[in-house]
C-alpha cells in the first residue's frame, strides 16, 4: 500500500510466444505519466492503443483479451497481475503482435522486468476503490464476490486498508482435488507466494484444444502439464501451485477495474468470465465502493481528488 502512483524508471523488453496463437512477439514496457493507467500499444498497427479497463474486455473463455475498434490484445492477465503485484499504476506496454508472450507461464518474468527497470514514485495521489458492501456474481455452484474487509469474522482480517484474495478450485486429479488458497496482498506476499505459480493444463485435453486453435504456444517449458495421475514436467514450484495460479489470474483480471481495491475477494470454482463479470458489475454499482486516498498514517480518506474521481466515474456512464 502506498500513497502515490508509481511507474517504472526505464524501459524493459522481452520476447516470447503467445499462449494460444503461438506467434512470436516482442514486448516492451515503458514509463508513463501519472493517471495514465496501463495502456497496450500495437506497434505493428500504427501504435494503436487499447486501455486495460473493463469497457475494452473482449474474449474471456480461455484467457482475458481486450479489444478496441477491432484491435485485439490477447491473454493480458499474467502481465496485468504482475504490474498490480509490484505496484505499477502507469505504464505503456508495446506489442508487435496480438498476444502478450507467455514466457514461463507465470508472472515471475514480468516481476523480474519491473525489478530491472525499477519503480518511480509519481506526484499524484493513488486513488483506491474501497469496498462498502458485498457485490457477487453466481453461476450455479460457482461464485465470486467482493466484500468490505470485516465481512469474514472467522478469519483474521487483512486490516482496514488491506486487499486480500481467496480462491477455491476442485479438479478430479490426485494432485489438485478440492484446493483453497488465501493471500493478503497488502504486505508484499504477491511476489513470494503468487507470482511464480505457472499456468497448467491436462495432457488429455491437448488435442481438443489445439484443434480449436488454442494453446499453440504451450510447451513443457511454459506450462505445468498434468497426466492422469501426476505431472509430466516436474517439479512443481508449490504443492498447491494450481490454485495459486488461479489467484494470479484473478488479480490480473481485477486490474481491469483501473484501480486497486481495498477489500476482500472470494472466488469459488470461478474463471475469467466470472472475474470480468464481477469487475463490470462492481463498476456499475457506485454505491458499492468509494474512491479514497491513503494518508501517511496509512488511514484511508475520501479526499478532494477522490471525490473528483467519483464524479468522473459517474459522468462516464
Q: 82: Cβ–Cβ under 8 A, 6 or more apart, which residues?
A: 107, 108, 110, 111, 114, 195, 252
Active site residue 272: yes
Catalytic residue among 245, 272, 275, 286: 272
Q: 193: Cβ–Cβ under 8 A, 6 or more apart, which residues?
A: 183, 238, 244
d(CA 111, CA 251) in angstroms, rounded, equals 14
d(CA 70, CA 80) in angstroms, rounded, equals 21
Q: At 104, is the secondary structure helix, strand, or coil?
A: coil
**Could you tell me where the beta strands, DSSP code E, fall in the chain?**
4-8, 12-17, 24-31, 38-42, 48-51, 66-68, 71-73, 91-95, 119-125, 128-131, 135-139, 142-147, 163-171, 177-184, 200-202, 224-226, 261-268, 289-294, 300-301
Residues of 277-294 as b/e, b for ≥16 C-beta within 10 angstroms? bbbebbbeeeebbbbbbb
Q: At 292, is the secondary structure helix, strand, or coil?
A: strand
Cis omega (within 30 of 0) for bond into 42: no
Active site residues: 272
Amino acid at each position: 500500500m502506498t500513497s502515490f502512483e508509481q511507474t517504472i524508471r526505464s524501459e524493459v523488453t522481452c520476447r516470447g510466444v503467445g499462449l494460444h496463437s503461438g506467434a512470436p512477439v516482442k514486448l516492451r514496457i515503458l514509463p508513463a505519466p501519472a493517471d495514465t493507467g496501463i495502456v497496450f500499444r500495437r506497434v505493428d498497427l500504427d501504435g494503436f492503443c487499447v486501455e486495460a479497463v473493463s469497457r475494452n474486455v473482449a474474449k474471456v473463455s480461455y484467457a482475458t483479451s481486450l479489444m478496441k475498434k477491432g484491435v485485439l490484445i490477447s491473454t493480458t492477465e499474467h502481465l496485468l497481475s504482475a504490474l498490480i503485484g509490484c505496484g505499477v499504476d502507469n505504464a505503456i506496454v508495446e506489442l508487435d503482435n496480438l498476444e502478450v508472450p507467455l514466457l514461463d507461464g507465470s508472472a515471475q518474468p514480468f516481476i523480474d522486468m519491473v525489478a530491472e527497470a525499477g519503480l518511480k514514485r509519481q506526484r499524484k495521489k493513488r486513488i483506491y476503490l474501497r469496498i462498502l458492501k458485498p457485490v457477487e456474481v453466481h453461476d450455479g455452484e460457482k461464485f465470486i464476490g467482493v466484500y468490505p474487509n470485516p465481512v469474514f469474522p472467522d478469519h483474521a482480517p487483512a486490516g482496514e486498508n488491506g486487499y486480500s484474495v481467496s480462491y477455491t478450485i476442485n479438479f478430479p486429479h490426485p494432485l489438485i482435488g478440492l484446493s483453497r488458497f488465501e493471500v493478503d496482498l497488502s504486505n508484499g506476499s504477491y511476489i513470494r507466494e503468487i507470482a511464480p505459480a505457472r499456468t497448467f493444463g491436462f495432457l488429455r485435453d491437448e488435442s481438443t484444444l489445439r484443434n480449436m486453435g488454442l494453446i499453440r504456444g504451450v510447451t513443457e517449458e511454459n506450462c505445468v502439464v498434468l497426466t492422469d495421475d501426476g505431472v509430466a514436467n516436474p517439479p512443481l514450484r508449490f504443492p498447491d501451485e494450481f490454485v495459486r495460479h488461479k489467484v494470479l489470474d484473478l488479480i490480473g483480471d481485477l486490474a481491469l477495474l483501473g484501480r486497486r481495491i481495498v477489500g476482500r475477494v472470494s472466488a469459488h470454482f470461478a474463471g475469467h468470465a466470472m472475474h470480468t463479470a464481477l469487475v463490470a458489475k462492481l463498476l456499475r454499482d457506485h454505491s458499492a465502493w468509494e474512491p479514497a486516498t491513503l494518508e501517511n498514517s496509512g488511514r484511508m480518506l475520501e479526499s478532494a481528488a477522490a471525490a473528483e474521481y467519483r464524479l468522473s466515474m459517474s459522468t462516464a456512464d
